Structure 1
């Protein structure tokens, strides 16, 4: 009997190693007078199904835990609204909002293939985005515990921060477009309420009104796009929609994709819809941090999820044009303004423009990496913005004439490295733009860290910093590519003329900036400078000469 069991176990191993799980075959082993039929075929054929079911059950349990912890976080935030709850309760709230982060990270590193459970699509991208926004929310709320202490509306900030992160994480886990739209709408609503928390000051009140109007337009655009998809295909899930989407007419596809474009460029503060982000600088710094780090980058996630249906060449061209122009205008705003928060607004506008360019060129994975790194980077800049005030004692760098040889060396290195990057790539339009931006970034970094440094040690440190940043970028890029390799993304490359247009706009802007920098006394420089200053300024209704609302604290 033991010999029989042992032979059966050996047979199982042979079957599992040699037999393809999708091919039906039998094996007969004769031991004495007993013929053992390879009935283990059933186990072998269904082992993958069994594993999938186990994975599905475990992921279902994880999803339930995730939703429960999100609910606990929401309840905890709402409890803090009560004046009868002591202020020290906020420490308990901090522990509670860590729970969904832990569950989300477990889901991120345990899920392999996409699993659909009810209205949720659980894949690496869903867990990554859900965990990312929750981690940002935790860091910002932790910062607010002391930063906002003493504010009359202290108790209102934490529930709204919590609701924003909860609804956003649910939106990115949603496979059902109805749940995604509702959750995204709730996120925008809570963000509007967060901007206008200080109801006694007219500036954030005006900013909230402007933001609300644009948010409604962007959200309704997404609603219309989803409704058109449902009416045309009869499905609410994007994967099911993609199956029948190819049968739709060109005109209907164009309309749907244009609505998707409007749905992503408005929250991304792209030209000419950047006003809401400019007006909102009056909000407290942590509010700006959550906007710039976790809300404006939603366009990259939406386009990635809608990639199976976002394939109309005209809509892609429109997105490329708007995003490319926004890259230049955002960069210009960040250069001419002296207000630190407005500089960050211009930077965000430019960065989100480049993220949308990546999406339009079909580089969705790169866009996801970009939005995550931008979120971490921009949240850090906002939360440490108070330290910028003391940065007035800056040493005088060398002049361009004194650093001429180092500048030339930096440009040559940048061109060689960018060409090597392009030569070893797949020669797509996105890779060409990446090579151009790489060359430009290397030139700027080299000039600031190496060429204009006075001491030899400063130059060595500058070169070392550039090398370290490059290595960190390479490691991070490969890590995220490995993390997202199981996410199904449909790639549609834009028309060649559209790619040339985008590259032309960016190159033109670069050449113009170089020319303007060399002709600062020209009429063109003055006009461009004043126009960019005006473009980055808030409307007069959102400007107050004196913060009269502070009288409430007397």
Structure 2
């Protein structure tokens, strides 16, 4: 495949700026460099995402250059990861001021987002595995930066063990794929001719290893413990986890979508992700700690993203992971100012009119069926129709049916219409960028559809039961189980961090 000179030059310039960012972070580590240099560092860090944005806007800058695969998905993910990293580093200039590891944070932020962007630009299986391992190592180093605190050390042990398992699972999957196809390049290993060499058991085995590799960083059940323990890390570290780290499963499965398509591994992923959605939603509802609420929400949202992948809706998963990453990172960065206001609700016992509720459900059903029949793409249209119809029904109930009086219903309807317009604009923008790059999965098998619908109905039944049986013993047991599930282990909890005494005795932070 011939690649224009502009793409090669742009890639070279991108890596020069990425290296410059790393060097500026290393320079900032030196104690003689003034703290004011951090603003220069932020300026340099802003250059790589700017170059990736230029490459994304230039549709001709695509192709394969050595071990690099320069398509729109690769440049989009590089821009996404580096942009969130830039925002978090800029936020940390004041937020982390006075921390004894102030200088180390910036080099680790730069390193982690830098190697994460290299992971998604990789067109070689070996380079992707190495870069992803470096990304996980960077995250571990960020979690354990306050190594004098035993709680942080315990969280590091939990995260490290699971991340090693995830990485080795991915490594074995890639070696297995190479042994069968004889190719290390994505573009060659995932062609129909290469995949035809895989037997049914080989394909299932590789896919199961990939599933294990992606559900651990995504904090899916039963591996959600590392994310819950990581709450001891500073808030900017929690935010940077959403820069292509916890949501990396959607990107990875999209890259391997020609291989990961319609076998038993998809069903297993669908079941585990659905359980994670229920558990994550429950944790976010019962926890009173703001960061734990966000972590529970992340578990549920990542489960929903992996459900999209299991059903072949890879484009929807990419859109979801980017928007969720931006939104959740923002919520973490404002966690310090999140003060709950206790107010008496004026409509706790109010019930919306059944006519309005049925109208919303009917509208959701009609729109979902219409979208299923009219939208292009096979695997994509089914999940999109289900999500769109269900979301419209719930949104109508909350915004319109619960609206107080005619003005309240009109306001809710206006907000719903405005949100729908924004959704379609964003959807069309991403579709234009990615429809030629992202593989569209085949129509899910009937067994997968039945499992998904049953899980959806089960979740709805559980939600309805909870709202109507809050005074029962069963509800209390479920409530306490979710509280315990969202709490760290006792040895990971310390009411009075002893490591602070050491720094105070040394005269404060460095």
- TM-score, normalization: structure 2? 0.93
Identify the residue that residue 478 of structure 2 maps to in structure 1: 528
Which string of whole-angstrom CA distances, capped at 9 and with x for unpartnered residues, describes residues 434-480 of structure 1?
Answer: 44444544454445545555576554433332222221111101110
Q: Does residue 423 in structure 1 map to residue 373 in structure 2? A: no
- Quote the offset at 1:385 in angstroms: 1.4
- Quote the offset at 1:225 in angstroms: 0.4
Q: Does residue 288 in structure 1 map to residue 242 in structure 2? A: no
Residues 28 and 37 of structure 2 are in contact (CA less than 8 Å); yes or no, is this contact kept in structure 1? yes
Identify the residue that residue 184 of structure 2 maps to in structure 1: 236
Q: Does residue 399 in structure 1 map to residue 348 in structure 2? A: yes
Q: Does residue 187 in structure 1 map to residue 135 in structure 2? A: yes
- Taking the aligned partners of 2:407 and 2:342, their CA distance within structure 1 comes to 20
- Quote the offset at 1:493 in angstroms: 3.9
Identify the residue that residue 91 of structure 2 maps to in structure 1: 143
Residues 313 and 494 of structure 1 are in contact (CA less than 8 Å); yes or no, is this contact kept in structure 2? no
Identify the residue that residue 349 of structure 1 maps to in structure 2: 299
- Quote the offset at 1:482 in angstroms: 0.7
- Quote the offset at 1:553 in angstroms: 4.1
Identify the residue that residue 551 of structure 1 maps to in structure 2: 501
Q: Does residue 100 in structure 1 map to residue 65 in structure 2? A: no
Correspondences of 1:32-111 after superposition (within 5 Å)? 53=2, 56-111=4-59
Q: Does residue 217 in structure 1 map to residue 180 in structure 2? A: no
CA 1:151 to 1:529, structure 2 compared with 1: closer, same or farther past 3 Å?
same
Residues 399 and 452 of structure 1 are in contact (CA less than 8 Å); yes or no, is this contact kept in structure 2? no
- Quote the offset at 1:246 in angstroms: 1.2
Identify the residue that residue 461 of structure 2 maps to in structure 1: 511
- Taking the aligned partners of 1:437 and 1:232, their CA distance within structure 2 comes to 37
Higher relative contact order (Cα pairs below 8 Å, separated by 6+ residues)? 2
Residues 371 and 385 of structure 2 are in contact (CA less than 8 Å); yes or no, is this contact kept in structure 1? no
Identify the residue that residue 365 of structure 1 maps to in structure 2: 315
Which string of whole-angstrom CA distances, capped at 9 and with x for unpartnered residues, describes residues 228-262 of structure 1?
Answer: 01111110012211231212211111111110110
- Quote the offset at 1:92 in angstroms: 0.2
- Quote the offset at 1:503 in angstroms: 1.9
Which string of whole-angstrom CA distances, capped at 9 and with x for unpartnered residues, describes residues 55-93 of structure 1?
Answer: 521100000001111000111111111111100000000
Identify the residue that residue 325 of structure 1 maps to in structure 2: 275
Aligned with residue 313 of structure 1, among 263, 266, 283: 263
CA 1:110 to 1:437, structure 2 compared with 1: closer, same or farther past 3 Å?
closer
CA 1:363 to 1:397, structure 2 compared with 1: closer, same or farther past 3 Å?
same
Identify the residue that residue 103 of structure 2 maps to in structure 1: 155
Residues 261 and 312 of structure 2 are in contact (CA less than 8 Å); yes or no, is this contact kept in structure 1? no
Which one has the largest radius of gyration?
A: 1
Residues 397 and 452 of structure 1 are in contact (CA less than 8 Å); yes or no, is this contact kept in structure 2? no
What is the count of residue pairs matched by the alignment?
A: 499
CA RMSD of aligned residues (A): 2.0
- Tell me whether 240-249 or 328-337 shows the greater mean CA deviation: 240-249
Q: Does residue 374 in structure 1 map to residue 321 in structure 2? A: no
Identify the residue that residue 253 of structure 1 maps to in structure 2: 203
Instruction: Give secondary structure in 2 for the equivalent of 1:175.
Output: coil
Q: Does residue 338 in structure 1 map to residue 285 in structure 2? A: no
Residues 316 and 494 of structure 1 are in contact (CA less than 8 Å); yes or no, is this contact kept in structure 2? no
Residues 433 and 503 of structure 1 are in contact (CA less than 8 Å); yes or no, is this contact kept in structure 2? no
Instruction: Give secondary structure in 2 for the equivalent of 1:295.
Output: coil
- Taking the aligned partners of 1:56 and 1:241, their CA distance within structure 2 comes to 24
- Taking the aligned partners of 1:314 and 1:206, their CA distance within structure 2 comes to 35
Instruction: Give secondary structure in 2 for the equivalent of 1:116.
Output: strand
Correspondences of 1:446-461 after superposition (within 5 Å)? 446-452=396-402, 454=404, 457-461=407-411
Residues 360 and 397 of structure 2 are in contact (CA less than 8 Å); yes or no, is this contact kept in structure 1? no
Residues 114 and 487 of structure 1 are in contact (CA less than 8 Å); yes or no, is this contact kept in structure 2? no
**Unaligned stretches of 5+ residues in structure 1:** 1-51
Residues 123 and 186 of structure 2 are in contact (CA less than 8 Å); yes or no, is this contact kept in structure 1? yes
- TM-score, normalization: structure 1? 0.86
**Unaligned stretches of 5+ residues in structure 2:** 505-510
- Quote the offset at 1:291 in angstroms: 0.8
